[in-house]
Amino acid sequence: MRKIALFIGTISVATVGFCGVGQFSGETTCYVYKQDKLQKKLTCQYDGAEGAAMSYAFRQVDYNLPGFGKMATSNSADYDDNGNHTGWTTTVNDEPAIIRYRAPSSKKVVSQTYAESGKEVLQCYLSTTSQWEICSE
């Protein structure tokens, strides 16, 4: 009985700071780039999840790209023991990546300032290792 009480107590403590997780899926238009050159524009399916807790936040999306396979993207906020935000970890297919933005009409890369201005942009994940990039509408 004591082991059960200890287990329940551990689960309770582990979930106290938990805020929630949401899942989503659907179909959209994807753009696949390699070394900044458009390889393919296609209709793709995606499945994702996002969530947050007191010391963690994440967003993961898996894109099913006909003719290319899957591209898994992730972005998570990093915090120190005091709860201070220390940075982000971003990946494409488990490779280090960055998030950047493209203008929907021209598909040219735009600045973070432009993206934050409220204008419509495509959010893209660019692997800094393989140079594969996935953008979605």
In a domain, 100, yes or no: yes
Q: What is the domain range of residue 77? A: 23-136
In a domain, 2, yes or no: no
What's the burial of 12, exposed, middle or buried (CB within 10 Å: 0-12/13-18/19+)? exposed
In a domain, 4, yes or no: no
Residue tagged 């010391």 (tokens): 55
Q: What is the pLDDT of residues 114-129, one digit of tens each?
A: 999 999 999 999 999 9
What's the burial of 24, exposed, middle or buried (CB within 10 Å: 0-12/13-18/19+)? exposed
In a domain, 16, yes or no: no
- Give the integer Cα–Cα distance in Å for 21 and 111: 30
Q: For the chain, how many structural domains are there in total?
A: 1
In a domain, 65, yes or no: yes
Helices (H) and strands (E) in the chain, counts: 2, 9
Q: What is the pLDDT of residues 65-89, one digit of tens each?
A: 998 899 999 999 877 777 787 888 9
- Give the integer Cα–Cα distance in Å for 57 and 87: 11
In a domain, 132, yes or no: yes
Q: What is the pLDDT of residues 35-49, one digit of tens each?
A: 999 999 999 999 999
